[in-house]
Amino acid sequence: MNDRLDQTARPVLVLNAGSSSLKYQLLVPESGEVSASGVIERIGEPGSDVADHAAALRTMRATLAADGVDLDAVPLRAVGHRVVHGGPDFSEPVLIDDAVVARIESLSPLAPLHNPAAVTGIEAARAHFAVPHVAVFDTAFFSTLPPEASTYALPRDLAEQHSIRRYGFHGTSHRFVSQATAELLGRPVEELNQIVLHLGNGCSASAIRGGVAIETSMGLTPLQGLVMGTRSGDVDPGLHAFLARQVGLSIDEIDTVLNKKSGLLGLSGVNDFRELAQRVDAGDEGARLAFDIFVHRLTHYVGAYLAHLGRVDAIVFTAGVGQNSARVRAALAEGLEGLGISVDPDRNEAGGGCFSHAAVISPDGSPVVVAVVPTNEELAIARQTADLVR
């Protein structure tokens, strides 16, 4: 009994290692209580004091100590690592050992920016903390996509040889939000058909039938699908050849244009949605068009997922834009009354339209519930980590 009590009070450290950053959060999965969080940036960059991820962990330890959290005294339960790409290998969180690290590393061709950084972070943390380490994959929730949804119409040999398929990303968030929506509605997730719209800097949509993902907008990489802060989302695949042949761009330049210089930024000059909204209000036509394209693409996916699901119980907005932009939510619902989709303006704009708690924003009795449900990827990773080491 006492052991059990102790166990549930012990925190999990969640780490998200990027190529030049390390985000961390120390929290208790059962209560959600966060005792510390932060981010260390510019790792390995010229002029930075933080040479690598091992140094970043030392910086984290020192920062926490300065804030009164002594990691040597904290009875850490486990470390949960966010890993972007699980490729075809990982459909669930996994306890990390040398073989798992090697497999994550071997998936680097699929996520050249992300997986090598995750491996560096994992290796540094394993050397630093003698507790179980768990990898939680951004792709895992979408391993259930049926073959007709996950397969590109490419030569099968080529696709199979190189593991080219649609994987989907933001899975931890889509899973967490779909479960939280079921809680909000007081219904089992198995009974609900949901469309989840994760709209942050990166944006993705998913169709979830009874808690199981059947479609999502991202693909082999996080570039496919919706318009994002700096990513184009869907373009004609023929664009790449056009840009190479007609404009003379190299593959790397094309990659940079589509990932870093497109989306809202490419269209309007800003990628922050707050700034975009201000410019729309000021009558900026480029900003207006960017907003309209963003909503148009969103509508496109919602329409497709309505058809795939056949019946939709809930459409759910989450992440920075989804939780905070009443304008986007209203624009999506506009004209969809005939499909049973609408938002109540008072509910949508409550608290300035910024939601830190889950709430229904459709009118009572609507055939489709429209809701805002805050995502919490750290909590989701901490819970999955705790489940695995329990």
Smallest Cα–Cα separation from 199: which of 113, 320, 298?
A: 320
What is the residue whose two structure tokens read 């010229």?
46
Give the C-alpha distances (Å, rounded to integers) separating 258 from 96, 119, 169, 249: 34, 26, 17, 12
Query: Taking CB under 6 A as the rule, does residue 169 contact ligand ADP?
Result: no
Smallest Cα–Cα separation from 171: which of 126, 127, 208?
A: 208
**Which of positions 336-355 make contact with ligand ADP (CB under 6 A)?**
354
| Window contacting ligand ADP (CB under 6 A); options: 80-88, 242-250, 318-326, 333-341 | 318-326
CB 227 to ligand ADP: min, Å? 12
| Window contacting ligand ADP (CB under 6 A); options: 50-58, 156-164, 180-188, 313-321 | 313-321
- Pick the closer one to ligand ADP by CB: 121 or 353: 353
Please tell me the distance from the alpha carbon of residue 356 to that of residue 32, in angstroms, as a whole number: 14
Which of 229-253 are b and which e, b meaning 16 or more Cβ less than 10 Å from the residue's Cβ? bbbbbeeeeeeeeebeeeeebeeee
Q: Is 138 a catalytic residue?
A: yes
CB 229 to ligand ADP: min, Å? 5
Contact 124, 82 (CB under 8 A): no
17's CB contacts (< 8 A; 6+ apart) are 53, 81, 82, 117, 118, 120, 121, 122
User: Among 49, 89, 138, 157, which one carries the catalytic annotation?
Assistant: 138
Query: Taking CB under 6 A as the rule, does residue 201 contact ligand ADP?
Result: yes
Among 89, 105, 272, 284, binds ligand ADP (CB under 6 A): 272
Please tell me the distance from the alpha carbon of residue 324 to that of residue 348, in angstroms, as a whole number: 10
Among 213, 295, 321, 341, binds ligand ADP (CB under 6 A): 321
CB 170 to ligand ADP: min, Å? 8
CB 47 to ligand ADP: min, Å? 25
Q: Which residues bind ligand ADP (CB under 6 A)?
A: 200-202, 229, 272-274, 319-321, 324-325, 354
**Which positions are annotated as active-site residues?**
138
